[in-house]
Structure 1
């Protein structure tokens, strides 16, 4: 069972799909007091946008997705933060904010399969494969929409995360990174990365790095670090 303060998402009763990657990104991304404009790229059910609405009570949050955003809108309307949430159905490559202002924080849990075979189901292909949103076009959208001094938070598998890093050279620089393991003995499964614009004349530097382990290895037992990160969003935590 998933919660947003008074607004509980019961997955057996609600169409919202609560995936671990989205929860991780929404809980891990740094949210500052000055973050008043937040964009969720590939918003889907609106999960990350809703997490941002809970964490940033002064912010206006927008979600953009190439697929239908009716479910995201319905989930927002059922929450206490409907007035601060808006959603747009269009490719982010074409998206322009109505007031022309850039965003303080951008988040993305994007499709990431690049070279693998696509699925016959068009919807599953859109969600899993970087066909409609190739990494270079995601990068260009972020560079265009991110405010000076703003941050971009992203979650990807390891290989894809390093590929995205290469594409960002000279444009976006990673400043913080967390490797994610499902259990202590498992290899790293995901990388959470925070980027910002590269400043003129800036020399390369290493990002702050750490690791997060989700489970202890016992059935449905979570580490204290994962509980601490996500407990504001899980009723059973």
Structure 2
């Protein structure tokens, strides 16, 4: 059973009321996503506990971040985590679907750790809902990003390997292109498990591609590259 809270270097995340707990996927996205512009507007789609928004608020001291989720309990939990953080004035939650969400201003950056099980058995409860694309299909996610992202904006997302290939094709058909990717392996001799994608309206002839291996051959012994990416957040790095 997961702990009811997760402590990072500059903030803590309570997760007792949220179906999706803090995990490696969210931490990787929060640490890797492009969010460097000053005084920018950022949207976090499917915020869950709010961990990605909190990491981004730590990384960019002038960013204004909106976080949305369809799960009321998740939004309440994220909001309480935001209020308890050093960046509460720059973080706002909304209990609303991406399909229904509107903003009078477009966003410089959008991030999402979206549902990823397609046409497969759904587990009982909100955790099952949170992991499936029934509530937010890839097509709807792409449409929402294009509707809310400004012309020069950047979208960052993390997906399983097979689903990432589907997502890249669907996005390109709608005018959203992959410019950078990081393939994630748990250990070096295993298949790619996750893929971080950076996307924009700009089509690049040369996609920047990197590989990240999380652990060495020794269990719980982490690679230097993984520690470098997450060292500003994890207590033990």
TM over 0.5: yes
Which of 103, 113, 134 pairs up with 1:109?
A: 113
CA–CA distance in 2 between the matches of 1:236 and 1:35? 31
> Residues 21-54 of structure 1, C-alpha deviation per residue, up to 9 Å, x if partnerless?
0000000112213351001000011010101110
Contact 1:4 1:51 in 2 (8 A): no
What is the CA–CA distance in structure 2 between the aligned matches of 1:53 and 1:9, rounded to whole Å?
14
TM-score, reference length from structure 1: 0.91
Task: Summarize the Cα distance change of 1:75–1:190 in structure 2 as closer, same or farther, 3 Å threshold.
Answer: same
Q: Which residue of 2 aligns with 1:190?
A: 194
TM-score, normalisation: structure 2: 0.91
Deviation of residue 229 (structure 1)?
0.1
May I ask how many residue pairs the two structures share in their alignment? 227
For residues 154-209 of structure 1, the C-alpha deviation after alignment (integer angstroms, 9 at most, x for no partner) is 000111001111111241010000000001111110110000014xxx6x624110
Alpha-carbon distance between aligned partners in 2 of 1:122 and 1:9, rounded to the nearest angstrom: 22
CA distance in 2, matches of 1:10, 1:65: 16
Q: Which residue of 1 aligns with 2:213?
A: 213
Contact map agreement 1:35 1:104 (CA 8 A) in 2: no
**Paired position in structure 2 for 1:54:** 58
The aligned residue for residue 39 of structure 1 is 43
Aligned 8 A contact 1:105 1:152 in 2 = yes
Q: Distance in 1 between matches of 2:44 and 2:37?
A: 18
Within the candidate set 130, 135, 143, 1:132 is matched to 135
Counterparts of 2:217 and 2:79 in 1: how far apart (Å)?
37
**2: distance between equivalents of 1:62 and 1:122?**
26
* Gap runs ≥5 in structure 1: none
1:95-137 superposed Cα distances (whole Å, 9 cap, x missing partner): 012xx11000100000100121112x23022211100000000
Task: Say which SS state the counterpart of residue 136 (structure 2) adopts.
Answer: coil
Is the Cα contact below 8 Å between 1:172 and 1:197 reproduced in 2?
A: yes
Instruction: Report the secondary structure of 1:169's partner residue.
Output: helix
Go from structure 1 to structure 2 and tell me whether the alpha carbon gap of 1:73 and 1:182 turns closer, same or farther (over 3 Å shift): same
Cα distance in 2 for residues equivalent to 1:4 and 1:152: 26
Give the distance between the partners of 2:144 and 2:38, measured in 1 at CA.
22
Q: Does 1:82 align with 2:85?
A: no
